[in-house]
């Protein structure tokens, strides 16, 4: 793990996250499931953005430090998340984002016939707030999801996912539409109780200021309802 340039104050780290790295330009966390990345119309306070902003301001709400979300994770997806400390740094991330390597872990229902492969489709939002694949390219955004089966149990499979594009709900939709919904994903076809079994495992990128190669690997989550795959 790359050593943080700013000392991480573990005693003051907000609940729902672990701070992996901090310097003058970026801060990287491991977000827990159930915590929003940024505010929504219905939730303004209990978000990774808000909690982390208060942390970097050392509790002084009048401090001028402002964070910018480089990317987002769904509320129920855990894992690595990056915030920039200036608009300039976020824009530099945007310029290189197609080269950023992002890996996920997903536990899905059933066994995949092909043990590795790529799902591709054009994704679009529906009126029911669900994302779906559409046939007409002009109606959606192109998405590619690469997967590899790591382990199998009697009725489930643990996958490593390479997120080749970063569209809304992409992994969840592609796995569901290919008849292997993520365990715990009630929105996209799972009837299993418990947390969504999706975790942003690692990220690799070039630091937007120093150009240093950066790699962060989070701890694999304890999916308590999938012990047959562990």
Phi, psi of 126 (to 5 degrees): -100, 170
Residue with structure tokens 């824009």? 91
Sign, CA dihedral 32-50-97-177, equals positive
d(CA 229, CA 208): 37
The CA-atom distances, in angstroms, between 119 and each of 3, 145, 172, 198 are 36, 5, 11, 17
- The secondary structure element, H or E, covering residue 36 is none
d(CA 144, CA 120): 5
Please check whether residue 16 is in contact with residue 48, taking contact to mean a CB–CB distance below 8 angstroms: yes
Tokens for 226? 């999938």
Question: Is position 74 annotated as part of the catalytic site?
Answer: yes
Question: How would you label 62-82 residue by residue, b for 16+ Cβ within 10 Å and e otherwise?
Answer: eeeeebbbbbbbbbbbbbbbb
Which of the residues 30, 74, 76, 185 is marked catalytic? 74
d(CA 114, CA 148): 9
Looking at the annotation, which residues are catalytic?
Answer: 74
């Amino acid at each position: 793990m790359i050593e943080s340039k700013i000392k991480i104050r573990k005693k003051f780290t907000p609940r729902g996250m672990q701070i992996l790295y901090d310097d003058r330009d970026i801060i990287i966390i491991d977000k827990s499931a159930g915590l929003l990345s940024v505010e929504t119309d219905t939730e303004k306070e209990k978000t990774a953005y808000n909690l982390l902003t208060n942390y970097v301001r050392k509790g002084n709400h009048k401090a001028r430090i402002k964070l910018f979300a480089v990317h987002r994770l769904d509320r129920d997806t855990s894992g690595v998340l990056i915030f920039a400390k200036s608009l300039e740094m976020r824009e530099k991330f945007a310029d290189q984002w197609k080269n950023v390597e992002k890996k996920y872990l997903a536990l899905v229902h059933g066994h995949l016939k092909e043990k590795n492969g790529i799902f591709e489709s054009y994704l679009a939002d529906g009126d029911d707030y669900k994302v779906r694949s559409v046939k007409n390219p002009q109606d959606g955004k192109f998405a590619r999801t690469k997967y590899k089966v790591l382990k199998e149990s009697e009725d489930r499979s643990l996958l490593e996912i390479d997120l080749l594009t970063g569209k809304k709900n992409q992994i969840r939709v592609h796995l569901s539409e290919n008849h292997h919904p993520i365990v715990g994903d009630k929105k996209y076809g799972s009837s299993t109780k418990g947390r969504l079994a999706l975790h942003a495992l690692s990220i690799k990128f070039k630091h937007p200021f120093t150009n240093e190669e950066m790699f962060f690997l989070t701890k694999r989550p304890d999916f308590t309802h999938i012990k047959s795959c562990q």
